Structures are given as C-alpha cells and as structure tokens.
Amino acid sequence: MQIQGPRIDCERAEALLLPIANFLFAGGLSKRAAQQIFSSAFEKAKSAGGARRVDRIGHPTQYADVVALWAYDSRFVDLTGRPRQLSFRGKNEFTALIKAANPQSNARAVLAVLMRYGNVRRTKEAKYELIRPFFFASTRESVAFEPMAYFLSDAGHTLGRILKRTRRLRGPELFWRKVESTRLTEAAAVRFTEFIRDRSLAFLEELDDWLEAQAERRRGRGKQRKFRRVGLGLFSIHSDLEESSANR
C-alpha cells in the first residue's frame, strides 16, 4: 500500500486514534498492553500491504460541496431539476460552480479528482456531466486516503460520545445501529451487497434532500450562528463466519 503525496501528520493521527484509545481504556486495557498491541498491529499492516494504491486528495468536503451544489443549486440544474452538463468556463459553468462551493479550490484539480473516481465524465460536446449524487472516492485501482480517515474518525468519535455521555451533556444523543446474519452463502452475500447498495443510495438521497432543505446559508457580516456538522455514515459488512463467531 503506497500513499501518494504528503504523509499524515502526528496531530491528525492522534485525532484518529483518540476515540479508539477511549474505547480500549473503557474496556480495561492498560497503556502498556495497548502500546504492545498497536505495535504488533502496525507491523502486521506493514507486512500485509494492500492491492489498491492510496492517494491523497486533500479535505473531502471540497469535493462533496461541489457535488451537492451541482445537484441542487438553481444555477447548475436544468428545468427538470437535474444537474446540467457544464462547460469548464462561463457564467454558471464549472469554474463558477467551484468558486461558489469553495473559492480557494483549484477548478482543474477538483475536476481531475472528480473524474478519477467516476463522479464526473466528459461528454462528446466537451462538457462535464455529474453522474453520481454523492462524492465517491474509490476505484478498482486506487482509493482516496482522506475520506477513509474521516469516516473512521467519525465512527470513533460517535463511539467516544456514547461512552462518555451523561445526562447533563447537551446536544443530540448519538447512536449506532447494525443488522447482520451468519446464515448467508457467498452468492447470497453478493446479492445482499447489491441490494443494500441500491437501497442505501435512495435512503441517503432522501436524507441529503432533508439536510439541504434545513441548511442555513452563511452570511458575510453581522452575528454569526454556530453551525454543526451532522450526517449519517453507512458501511457494509462481509467477513468469514469464524471471525464473527470468535468475537461473540
């Protein structure tokens, strides 16, 4: 497994590991034991490697914001409400989309990433078409590092909040849910994965519509409201029965 571009810094690594440390501490593991286990796991990761190349693309929000704006903003949709095919330059075209979503982003660099992972394709008319409603960041050959890191961080943060929550703690009560079966054949597992990929996409589109309808736009001057980042992350499960049974 090779990571292209700058390596993860110590501060972000600590932020990623902190929720896991909270979980291990809550489970009664000592610091020395945790250090030994992490060292062993790190060595196994080094020797195992990976089939896909891991690329650095920067903060994933800059790409997710572009996709969301393209899918909903009246400047970038057609009369039926679907995302328009955009030219690279021009009023209400791709460069304008980038400027509206993230003024600091480089339009060509963002476009390259969106095309690399199959979110956007170039048409015969030399325009660009959005083909996925959410930002995807993996192919058969490569996967983006930052979206994976943030997904793990979000999952760990949720776990930490659940472990440390008290009645006096303000804010929403975070949760996790899971369904599983240990009685599926490999063929049935493939069918289930295809089934949940389609169903979860429709579900996430419904949630995305809700979030977009409730979202307040940031204003330039005056009193600023404190915004929160909220959402829902889903992942699929596929493992050997022996692994699942060993953890019960």
Residue 139 lies in a domain: no
Three-state secondary structure call for residue 130: strand
| Residues whose CB falls within 8 Å of the CB of residue 13, separated by 6 or more in sequence, listed in order | none
With beta carbons less than 8 A apart as the criterion, state whether 12 and 149 touch. yes
The helix (H) or strand (E) run that includes residue 34 is helix 31-48
Rounded to two decimals, the pTM is 0.74
Residue 49 and residue 153 share a domain: yes
Distance between CA atoms of residues 248 and 246, nearest Å: 6
The per-residue pLDDT string of the chain (248 residues; one tens digit each, 9 = 90 and over) reads 555 555 667 887 887 888 888 888 888 999 999 999 999 998 988 887 667 788 999 889 899 999 999 998 999 999 999 999 999 999 999 999 999 999 999 999 999 999 999 999 999 999 999 998 889 999 988 899 889 888 888 888 888 788 777 777 677 888 888 899 999 999 999 999 999 989 998 999 899 889 888 877 655 555 567 888 889 988 898 888 665 444 44
With beta carbons less than 8 A apart as the criterion, state whether 40 and 33 touch. no
Within 74-144, residue ranges assigned H as helices are 94-101, 107-116
Residue 138 lies in a domain: no
Residue 119 and residue 155 share a domain: no
Domain, as residue range, for 204: 177-216+226-248
Residue 168 and residue 45 share a domain: yes
Residue 154 and residue 48 share a domain: yes
Residue 50 and residue 153 share a domain: yes
